[in-house]
Chain A
């Protein structure tokens, strides 16, 4: 009850402050249009943002707010890195790439930087990782941080898991396994969904009906439960046929995600096939292949690429959740989803041993970072493609 009163009181104070701020702004700036035409909602927004900032500074100084401090430090470091990366991009490289970097917002350069780092880690995992992914080392449950006073070990900067495998190495190999498999799956989903969608839009009629209704049926089943069901069936088959389960997982997730790609491809192509240039090509007597690959595909590329980035995140999260549930990437292969599951109980130490609780958060953070980075790039591309339409 008192908490509610506090919130209401703070809200009233903010409303009052907003009104006072606008009044003061008008008086001090000599009725500058900025303050003169400012609505009360906007003024409240500014005051609220300022209050939130003050609160953040206060929280940063508090003893217990370790994770908040880490988050702020991480944010600043990444922002700085993104800024430096963009600065470098503006001065190094070909004319085209420099022009690209000049028009790039900071969020997009952050996304590109993170994706680049992940790509390098995934490709050269064998050279970069200090230990093997399945290698069991002496000490188990070494706390991340490398500080012996807190139970760390400088040899394992991010600590070790319950059976003594180096977490840093497993994170790096995890990039290879999780991201690599997610990338292959997304590509497959796009080849499947994209070509079916274009065919449905171009030919139309009964083929469109057939494909669309089939996709509707697949989409009607919740994706994760459907995937789990199919994976259970596949695990029996994989044992009988001697085919790795991972291959089945790629196929199953690709099939489920291709339904979403199908819908988008069909909608985008549907808008393109009504254009006069498609009619002109049809009247010229062009075949289906030319129509789809030469006339439609180049115009559908921007939304499809944006969707690719987004779909990649979803696929990646699905793999991580399947691994978390125990049917995805199989041990001893390192995988971020499995790592989160295995180390999950350390979360309970968050209140008194933040260093120890960080162990499961590292893998979760790796997932989150990539997802955010890819989405930043996607946002930027969507913005660019819609900006070009103007």
Chain B
């Protein structure tokens, strides 16, 4: 990442202003953003959700989503102002000289066409190359991006390829016309850490190989530190600051940037180990469970003791959530059993008593789907209060207000709102309050922070930690984010392919020697050091990272 600012200017965005339409009026959503991008340079755009990163990214192509318009400023791409350019001019540029890589490749590929047919469309239509050459070029690009079977993979349909591979295929597609500028809109956010690292390495390599300029949009600072030459921070549609990556990481100027950098610092001390003869709150004993005839879990066993947090980590498909479904009784285990304070629980939730149901509560990953959109906050939290506690009328309302105060939301202000009138973090807090309303001993937290911005996620983690100290709750914390594990867990259970690979106290887990899979997980978590990826690649080589390594285990 050498200094590229002396090179010729490719894109100049000046005082860009965008407006969005809501409730019949136009309201500003981006209030004047300016930046320069030189040839071959990578600019990282970071900010929380709603900061306007994606909108700016699209506007840099002269494109706006429906209900958004450019109200001022200019986007000069190689001398052409894309804001005022004709549709014809833009058609000539987009796809050919400017390309876009979307967040979810799975949702962006047309499932009805083969990958290579979609790949060759742009070069053929733009007259860059013929279909035959374009196909050969695609195979070469696939090879460069280290996709398995580059000769053959393009002839599959999108659903026949894994998420990480699809994201790389999409990067290859963006490269098909050898554009001068690529806009990456959170290309790795939806991927597992082990997969993410491969995609990051691939993107960085190809951007360097072809000397392409890029705008890299993400909310993950550690990722942007690996990718970008310069970083620009946005907050609610306004620029906060912009600087060269190293300087930005070592010496941020603004208060907001510093708070972003400090997010990962929350860490609570591990609790002392439980007494040997203590009865665990939840004991999972040799659970084997199946969907249909396929066994998904194979003899999973672990204990969760009173007042402690057990983090269950692993990539998607490792059986973390299935274990949770066994504990709650949604999926009765085929073999083995779940004990609650020494008493075996019936396999299915239908067979459990009201009190047994009360003791095990759940907080969901997506607060949007976990709260009924047609019920007010008071009704959502009030229902378990009434259902389990038998409180009605004024007593019920008083209890709801007490719970709202406990999750740090002002009762009078929020009790009559609908979930759609809350922010993501507030919704997640309501989910916590609903679980607390049952007065349980044990709560399953299923990826509760993965859909949230880092600052908000930290607030949720702190709240959960405080509630644990106050009420003596036990948590099963399902996550794939090891930073979360580091900050909140007492014990860690690592799962892979439906089996427990390793378990123990947090300190044991983070100090070597590791099980090879734990080691792979740990090493795949990006760090804030801009040299981290380069060093990791140098140390391990491309063969020993990501899915390639995981598959060999």
Is residue A135 contacting chain B, with contact meaning CB distance below 8 A?
no
Beta-carbon contact of A284 and B438 below 8 Å? yes
Which residues of chain B from 94 to 120 have a CB within 8 Å of any chain A CB?
A: none
* Chain B nearest Cβ from A16, distance in angstroms: 22
**Cβ–Cβ < 8 Å partners of B354 in chain A:** 285
Is residue A286 contacting chain B, with contact meaning CB distance below 8 A?
yes
**Cβ–Cβ < 8 Å partners of B370 in chain A:** 275-277, 280
Beta-carbon contact of A284 and B364 below 8 Å? no
Is residue A213 contacting chain B, with contact meaning CB distance below 8 A?
no
Beta-carbon contact of A277 and B384 below 8 Å? no
**Cβ–Cβ < 8 Å partners of B357 in chain A:** 283-285
**Cβ–Cβ < 8 Å partners of B383 in chain A:** 281, 284
Instruction: Name the one of A282, A295, A301 contacting B349, with C-beta atoms under 8 angstroms.
Output: A282
Beta-carbon contact of A37 and B369 below 8 Å? no
Beta-carbon contact of B329 and A283 below 8 Å? yes
Beta-carbon contact of B349 and A286 below 8 Å? no
Report the separation of the CA atoms of residues A137 and B88 in the bound assembly, to the nearest whole angstrom.
72
Residues 268-309 of A, flagged 1 when their CB comes within 8 A of B and 0 if not, give 000000011101111111100000000100110100000000
Tally A-B pairs: CB < 8 A: 55
Beta-carbon contact of A286 and B328 below 8 Å? no
Residues 351-386 of B, flagged 1 when their CB comes within 8 A of A and 0 if not, give 010100100101010100111111100000001100
Which residues of chain B from 79 to 100 have a CB within 8 Å of any chain A CB?
A: 84, 86-88
Beta-carbon contact of B375 and A276 below 8 Å? no
Is residue A36 contacting chain B, with contact meaning CB distance below 8 A?
yes
Report the separation of the CA atoms of residues A103 and B364 in the bound assembly, to the nearest whole angstrom.
36
**Cβ–Cβ < 8 Å partners of B69 in chain A:** none
Beta-carbon contact of A277 and B87 below 8 Å? no
**Cβ–Cβ < 8 Å partners of B291 in chain A:** none
Is residue B480 contacting chain A, with contact meaning CB distance below 8 A?
no
Q: A276-B364, A299-B372 are in contact. Are A284 and B387 (CB under 8 A)?
A: yes
B375 to A, closest residue via Cβ:
A298
Is residue A61 contacting chain B, with contact meaning CB distance below 8 A?
no
Beta-carbon contact of A277 and B86 below 8 Å? no
Beta-carbon contact of A103 and B24 below 8 Å? yes
Beta-carbon contact of B330 and A283 below 8 Å? yes
**Cβ–Cβ < 8 Å partners of B374 in chain A:** 298-299, 301
Report the separation of the CA atoms of residues A31 and B360 in the bound assembly, to the nearest whole angstrom.
67
**Cβ–Cβ < 8 Å partners of A277 in chain B:** 369-372
* Chain A nearest Cβ from B448, distance in angstroms: 12
Beta-carbon contact of B366 and A276 below 8 Å? yes
Is residue B434 contacting chain A, with contact meaning CB distance below 8 A?
yes
Is residue A332 contacting chain B, with contact meaning CB distance below 8 A?
no
* Chain A nearest Cβ from B452, distance in angstroms: 16
* Chain B nearest Cβ from A297, distance in angstroms: 9
* Chain A nearest Cβ from B197, distance in angstroms: 30
Which residues of chain A from 343 to 368 have a CB within 8 Å of any chain B CB?
A: none
* Chain A nearest Cβ from B451, distance in angstroms: 12
**Cβ–Cβ < 8 Å partners of A280 in chain B:** 362, 364, 370, 434
Report the separation of the CA atoms of residues A227 and B103 in the bound assembly, to the nearest whole angstrom.
53
Instruction: Name the one of A37, A276, A298 contacting B87, with C-beta atoms under 8 angstroms.
Output: A37
Is residue A33 contacting chain B, with contact meaning CB distance below 8 A?
yes
* Chain B nearest Cβ from A21, distance in angstroms: 18
Report the separation of the CA atoms of residues A245 and B24 in the bound assembly, to the nearest whole angstrom.
52
Report the separation of the CA atoms of residues A284 and B350 in the bound assembly, to the nearest whole angstrom.
10
**Cβ–Cβ < 8 Å partners of B387 in chain A:** 284-286
A298 to B, closest residue via Cβ:
B374
Report the separation of the CA atoms of residues A283 and B24 in the bound assembly, to the nearest whole angstrom.
41
**Cβ–Cβ < 8 Å partners of A283 in chain B:** 328-330, 349, 357, 360, 362
* Chain A nearest Cβ from B83, distance in angstroms: 10
Beta-carbon contact of B87 and A295 below 8 Å? no
Contact count band on A: 20 to 34
**Cβ–Cβ < 8 Å partners of A33 in chain B:** 84, 86
Which residues of chain A from 92 to 122 have a CB within 8 Å of any chain B CB?
A: 103
Instruction: Name the one of A37, A276, A295, A299 contacting B86, with C-beta atoms under 8 angstroms.
Output: A37
**Cβ–Cβ < 8 Å partners of A37 in chain B:** 86-88
Report the separation of the CA atoms of residues A103 and B23 in the bound assembly, to the nearest whole angstrom.
9
Report the separation of the CA atoms of residues A36 and B362 in the bound assembly, to the nearest whole angstrom.
57
Beta-carbon contact of A284 and B384 below 8 Å? yes
**Cβ–Cβ < 8 Å partners of B360 in chain A:** 283
A301 to B, closest residue via Cβ:
B374
Report the separation of the CA atoms of residues A286 and B349 in the bound assembly, to the nearest whole angstrom.
11
**Cβ–Cβ < 8 Å partners of B388 in chain A:** 284
Report the separation of the CA atoms of residues A329 and B384 in the bound assembly, to the nearest whole angstrom.
52
Report the separation of the CA atoms of residues A284 and B88 in the bound assembly, to the nearest whole angstrom.
58
Report the separation of the CA atoms of residues A37 and B328 in the bound assembly, to the nearest whole angstrom.
58
Report the separation of the CA atoms of residues A282 and B88 in the bound assembly, to the nearest whole angstrom.
55
Beta-carbon contact of A36 and B372 below 8 Å? no
Report the separation of the CA atoms of residues A323 and B319 in the bound assembly, to the nearest whole angstrom.
62
* Chain B nearest Cβ from A287, distance in angstroms: 10
B349 to A, closest residue via Cβ:
A283
Q: A103-B24, A283-B362 are in contact. Are A295 and B329 (CB under 8 A)?
A: no
A39 to B, closest residue via Cβ:
B87
Report the separation of the CA atoms of residues A285 and B358 in the bound assembly, to the nearest whole angstrom.
9
* Chain A nearest Cβ from B373, distance in angstroms: 7
* Chain B nearest Cβ from A33, distance in angstroms: 7
Beta-carbon contact of A295 and B372 below 8 Å? yes
Which residues of chain A from 28 to 48 have a CB within 8 Å of any chain B CB?
A: 31, 33, 36-37
* Chain B nearest Cβ from A1, distance in angstroms: 41
* Chain A nearest Cβ from B390, distance in angstroms: 14
Report the separation of the CA atoms of residues A343 and B364 in the bound assembly, to the nearest whole angstrom.
65
Report the separation of the CA atoms of residues A37 and B91 in the bound assembly, to the nearest whole angstrom.
11
**Cβ–Cβ < 8 Å partners of A285 in chain B:** 349, 352, 354, 357, 387
**Cβ–Cβ < 8 Å partners of B349 in chain A:** 282-283, 285
Report the separation of the CA atoms of residues A277 and B371 in the bound assembly, to the nearest whole angstrom.
5
**Cβ–Cβ < 8 Å partners of A36 in chain B:** 86-87
Beta-carbon contact of A298 and B372 below 8 Å? yes
Report the separation of the CA atoms of residues A33 and B62 in the bound assembly, to the nearest whole angstrom.
14
Report the separation of the CA atoms of residues A275 and B388 in the bound assembly, to the nearest whole angstrom.
22
**Cβ–Cβ < 8 Å partners of B328 in chain A:** 283
Report the separation of the CA atoms of residues A277 and B375 in the bound assembly, to the nearest whole angstrom.
11
B388 to A, closest residue via Cβ:
A284
* Chain B nearest Cβ from A121, distance in angstroms: 35
Report the separation of the CA atoms of residues A283 and B384 in the bound assembly, to the nearest whole angstrom.
11
Max chain B C-beta neighbours (<10 A), residue from A31, A37, A103, A301 = A37
Residues 387-418 of B, flagged 1 when their CB comes within 8 A of A and 0 if not, give 11000000000000000000000000000000
Which residues of A line the B interface, CB within 8 A?
31, 33, 36-37, 103, 275-277, 279-286, 295, 298-299, 301
Instruction: List 23 contacting pairs A-B, 8 Å CB cutoff, sorted by A.
Output: A31-B86, A33-B84, A36-B87, A37-B87, A103-B24, A275-B369, A275-B372, A276-B366, A276-B369, A277-B370, A277-B371, A277-B372, A279-B330, A281-B383, A283-B357, A284-B357, A284-B383, A284-B438, A285-B387, A286-B387, A298-B372, A299-B372, A301-B374
Beyond known contacts A275-B369, A276-B370, A282-B330: 7 more, CB 8 A cutoff? A36-B86, A277-B371, A283-B330, A283-B357, A295-B372, A299-B372, A301-B374
